[in-house]
Amino acid sequence: MFKKNFFSGLIFFILFLFSSHVHAFDYGDPTPLEQLQLEVINRARLNPVAEALRFGIDLMEGVDPGAISTEPVQPLTMNAKLLMAARLHSLDMLEQNYFSHYDPFGVDPFQRIKDAGYTYVAAGENIALRASTGILDPDQTALLIHQDLFVDKDYPQRGHRVNILNPTFKEIGVGIEQGLFSQKDVSYPYSMMVTCDFATSSDTRPFILGVVYEDTDNDGFYDPWEGIQGVEITVLETGETHTTKSAGGYGFPVFPGSYTLKFAIDGLGSIEKTVSVGTQNVKLDIITNDITPKEACNLSLTVSTNHIRPGTWFSTFFKACESKDNYVAIILPDRSFYSLTEKNTLSQPNKLEKFTDHSKELLNIFWPGDDNLEASEELILGAIAVEPGKDPFNPDNWLDFELVNLIVTY
């Protein structure tokens, strides 16, 4: 297999602007490969020395004095506008067979970033290409491109590495496109073009960002197939909600302070994490392997008849969940309710009582009736199970529930 790499390409610019305007933010929806590229960039930013050791280089090799530091720098969040600018440039380079920060019309990355609707105070760009006549593994190629840019062999002042570790940047767009690339009359049908647009806007708020994933290969790091989409993230202090994107990533701006984030994950329940945010971005990843799944709970609830007559008994067959708080109640049309007690009697109105006798399955209930109910009105017999001590009125706490419709007859 013949393979040829091209990975020159660096540009960086800072423009000082002053504004107190707060911009609307959109994380965008990066592909799994684009999310992977962000994850390895942030890995490098959070531990530059370890990243250099990983690739067998001295971190300061070839770099101008003072250009980078051994200290961690803030992680970057994806930004939808930068993502669009980066994708369009990668696609344009592939389609028009060029490799440059300047398109054939002379448009530079700063203009492309502006055209995407992003107003920057600092911006920079890395571009990279791996091209081959043989099939490339997309995941490995994306990782190798990051290595190409970080090692930056023979590139003056190791400018790509400097961009990756620039503490000024807060946001990024990573655009990855694959397809045919031709150069000097040679065609490379298997090519991966990457554009990384780094930037900072005039909005000074820091970001909370991260990725939610299932570590299926137990390597302690995100892989493109591991991200979990649709995880609802609630900021408990403000009530605002966010959702992880298709590759599992998320990010949103906040004001400095302490925040508790609740991650609600289908099939696993929820987990809460607290972070303190100063002026710098904070990364908070959730690995679902660390979450204890909800214990299986299978309630069952049936009745001998769906028609109940005031002043009579009816039979209910109820299988409770072991070691859980179980509740059974008759719910009236106005949403008031009577809870079933241990003695098979009904509680006072709107008094919820736990049903802890898990050995009982046949429950005979006496229904005294209600003067406000007419014939053919529908009631609900409901049963729920929650973790011991949890609020039963919050549906998020329900491990299982069963509902049976009842009809009043006279």
Q: How confident is the prediction along the chain (410 residues), in pLDDT tens digits per residue? A: 223 344 445 544 444 333 334 457 999 999 999 999 999 999 999 999 999 999 999 999 999 999 999 999 999 999 999 999 999 999 999 999 999 999 999 999 999 999 999 999 999 999 999 999 999 999 999 999 999 999 999 999 999 999 999 999 999 999 999 999 998 889 999 999 999 999 999 999 999 999 999 999 999 999 999 999 999 999 999 999 999 999 999 999 999 999 999 998 887 778 999 999 999 999 999 999 877 666 678 889 999 888 888 888 888 888 888 888 999 999 988 889 999 888 778 898 999 999 877 777 888 888 888 877 777 788 999 999 988 888 999 888 888 999 999 988 87
Per residue in 221-270, pLDDT (tens digit) is: 999 999 999 999 999 999 999 999 999 999 999 999 999 999 988 877 78
Separation between Cα atoms, residue 277 and residue 283, nearest integer Å = 10
Cα(385)–Cα(397) distance, integer angstroms: 8
Of 99, 87, 96, residue with least CA distance to 4: 99
The answer to whether the CB of 126 falls within 8 A of the CB of 40 is no
Cα–Cα distances in Å, from 406 out to 79, 145, 309, 334, 367? 52, 64, 10, 14, 12
State the Cα–Cα distance between residues 162 and 175, nearest whole angstrom.
19
Question: Which domains does the chain carry?
Answer: 32-201 (3.40.33.10), 207-290 (2.60.40.1120), 300-408 (2.60.40.10)
Residue 302 bridge partners (DSSP): 317
pTM, two decimal places: 0.74
**pLDDT tens, residue by residue, 272-330:** 999 999 999 999 999 998 776 666 788 899 998 888 888 888 888 888 888 889 999 99
Which pLDDT value is given to residue 20? 36
Using alpha carbons only, how large is the chain's radius of gyration in Å? 29
**Residues 6 or more apart whose Cβ sits within 8 Å of residue 17:** 119, 121, 202
Residues 234 and 262 sit within 8 Å (Cβ to Cβ): yes
Give residue-wise pLDDT tens across range 373-383.
777 788 999 99
Q: Which residues contact 128 (CB under 8 A, 6 or more apart)?
A: 6, 7, 9, 145, 148, 149, 160, 193, 194
Decide if 39 contacts 221 (C-beta within 8 A): yes
Element (H, E) at 192: strand 186-201
For residue 80, what is the DSSP state? H
**Cα angle: 68, vertex 74, 76; to 5 degrees:** 110
